[in-house]
Amino acid sequence: MTGWQIAPVPGRGLHRTHDGELALPLQISSGGQYRAIAELELTPNQAEQLHAALCYALGGQQPPDDAPECRQLVRYPGGRQRY
């Protein structure tokens, strides 16, 4: 199945569901044509695990200027830097 793409829906961000889960709307397309919108639902624990995995994966890269606060450099006494 080549040509399929899944991406966040522009203008629709992460939100909480009525039962406290987190939901990210994703648009599914193939061959350049929109097919459907589906939501990736995560429990708070799953969201924490994903967050940790993404932070680990991005840890070696310099954050862009407009990155969220949690990705900004933290300066420690003695010159050590951490994300």
What is the predicted pLDDT for the residue at 69?
Answer: 76
What is the predicted pLDDT for the residue at 28?
Answer: 95
Distant-in-sequence, close-in-space partners of 14: CB < 8 Å, separation ≥ 6: 22, 23, 24
Whether 74 and 81 have beta carbons less than 8 Å apart is answered as yes
Whether 83 and 71 have beta carbons less than 8 Å apart is answered as yes
Whether 25 and 12 have beta carbons less than 8 Å apart is answered as yes
Question: From the CA atom positions of the chain, what is the Rg in Å?
Answer: 17
Please state whether the predicted TM-score (pTM) of the whole model is above 0.75: no
The 3-state DSSP class for residue 12 equals coil
The 3-state DSSP class for residue 44 equals helix
Mean pLDDT split into 10-residue runs, the chain, 83 residues = 85 92 95 92 93 81 78 63 52
